[in-house]
């Protein structure tokens, strides 16, 4: 059995990547393309609108979410090619996928709208309505993240998959861990009221990921790695599946997944103790 990551068993001349994404999962691919298309106007908005919120441009958060969610949906659209046959045409799947895209659309409307009004979309408890809306958006975030869990379970249970077993295991584990790690990290941040732990006198709570405070822990570091388990673990599984025997590759995937979870836990623990992930020298 071969890995067949690019689908070469099914076509002699592979179409462009975007075309292949639409062939695998048109709804997620289309949503990813729409989010990617919003990046350019958001950059223009950043250039023209000099307003800041907590030390950064008000349009930086929408830009981050446009990029992150477009990558997330594009990855799922690609992985859809490895789901059991005919799953994506079933009624339950179409309804579920539609709810995921609707949740993402609502999140982006909220985040962009908050930016337009110059107010915070996250950790905003300034009024009962804002607090209620923030909690509603948190629920929608769980819905959109659950797509990784659903995909992971379906791929892990797909015994007739054309994927090499160790690589299929890495994809499934990466997706499942993405859901649980993301929910834990994001849920903790939501309940703690901010990204940073430690001295709050030097860096704004919404400071970019690059340029972390030297004297504070940043919970977004663990959150970042957790959400990208769906990329790191399958990448490792792909490599070891090419190098080692099936049984050795499978064990390597399991060990790497455990180490990856431990690493995310380590960055989380460091942040909770107020320690920065990277110390940038002056």
Mean per-residue pLDDT, 5-22: 65
Higher pLDDT, 75 or 159: 75
Average pLDDT, the chain: 87
Which residues have CB under 8 Å from 10's CB, separation 6+?
none
b/e map 63-94, b = 16+ CB within 10 Å:
bebbeebbbbbbbbbbbbbbbeeeebeeeebe
Measure the N-to-C terminal CA separation of the chain; round to a whole number of Å.
53
In the 8-state DSSP scheme, what is residue 58? T
CA distance 142 to 133: 14
DSSP H or E segment with residue 56 = strand 56-57
What pLDDT was estimated at residue 207? 45
Phi and psi at 90, nearest 5°, equal: -75, 155
What does the pLDDT average to over 70-98? 95
Residues 152-170 have pLDDT tens digits of 999 999 988 989 999 999 9
Residue 198 is predicted with a pLDDT of 65
Does the pLDDT value for residue 97 go beyond 60? yes
In the structure, what pLDDT confidence band is assigned to residue 14 with cuts at 50, 70 and 90? low
Mean pLDDT to the nearest integer, 162-182:
96
CA angle 156, 254, 239 (to 5 degrees): 85
Phi-psi region of 163 (alpha: psi -120 to 50; beta: other; left: phi over 0): beta
pLDDT of 84 > 60? The answer is yes
The percentage of the chain sitting over the pLDDT mark of 90, rounded to a whole number, equals: 68
* pLDDT of 180: 97
Q: Point out the least confidently predicted range of 194-203, 228-237, 254-263.
A: 194-203
Per-residue model confidence (pLDDT) at position 3: 53
Give the pLDDT mean for 250-260: 98
The per-residue pLDDT for 6 is 45
**DSSP string for residues in 189-229:** HHHHTSSEEE--SSS-TT--SSS--SSEEETHHHHHHHHTH
Model confidence, pTM: 0.88
Neighbouring-strand partners of residue 53: 56
**In this structure, what DSSP letter does residue 273 have?**
T
Dist CA 253 CA 269 (whole Å): 24
Q: How far apart are CA 158 and CA 109, in angstroms?
A: 36
**pLDDT of the residue at 274:** 86
> Residue 200 is encoded by which pair of tokens?
């709050």
Distance CA 183, CA 192 (A): 14
* Neighbouring residues of 202: CB distance < 8 A, sequence distance ≥ 6: 213, 214, 215, 216
Given a cut of 80, whether residue 88 has pLDDT beyond it is: yes
Helices (H) and strands (E) in the chain, counts: 10, 4
The predicted structure's pLDDT at residue 193: 76
Pairing of strands 56-57, 216-218: unpaired
DSSP state of 102: H
Using H for helix, E for strand and C for coil, what is the string for 110-124?
A: HHHHHHHCCCCCCCC
State the pLDDT at residue 4: 56
206 compared with 178, residue with greater pLDDT: 178
CA pair distance 156, 148, nearest whole angstrom: 12
Give residue 77's pLDDT band: very low, low, confident or very high (50, 70, 90). very high
């Amino acid at each position: 059995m071969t890995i067949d990551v690019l689908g070469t068993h099914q076509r002699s001349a592979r179409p462009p990547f975007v075309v292949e994404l639409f062939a695998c999962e048109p709804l997620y691919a289309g949503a990813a393309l729409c989010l990617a298309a919003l990046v350019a106007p958001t950059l223009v908005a950043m250039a023209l609108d000099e307003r800041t919120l907590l030390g950064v441009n008000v349009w930086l958060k929408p830009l981050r979410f446009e990029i992150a969610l477009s990558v997330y949906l594009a990855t799922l659209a690609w992985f859809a090619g490895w789901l059991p046959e005919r799953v994506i045409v079933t009624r339950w799947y179409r309804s579920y996928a539609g709810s995921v895209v609707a949740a993402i659309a609502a999140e982006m409307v909220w985040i962009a709208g908050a930016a337009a009004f110059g107010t915070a979309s996250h950790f905003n408890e300034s009024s009962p309505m804002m607090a209620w809306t923030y909690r509603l958006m948190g629920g929608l975030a769980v819905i959109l993240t659950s797509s990784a869990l659903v995909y992971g379970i379906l791929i892990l249970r797909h015994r007739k998959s054309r994927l090499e077993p160790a690589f299929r295991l890495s994809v499934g584990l990466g997706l499942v861990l993405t859901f649980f790690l993301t929910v834990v990290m994001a849920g903790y941040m939501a309940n703690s009221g901010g990204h940073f732990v430690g001295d709050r006198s030097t860096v704004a709570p919404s400071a970019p990921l690059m340029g972390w405070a030297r004297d504070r822990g940043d919970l977004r570091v663990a959150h970042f790695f957790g959400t990208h388990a769906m990329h790191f673990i399958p990448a490792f599984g792909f490599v070891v599946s090419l190098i080692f025997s099936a049984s050795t590759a499978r064990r390597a995937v399991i060990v790497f997944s455990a180490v990856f979870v431990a690493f995310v836990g380590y960055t989380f623990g460091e942040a909770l103790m107020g320690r920065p992930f990277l110390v940038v020298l002056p």
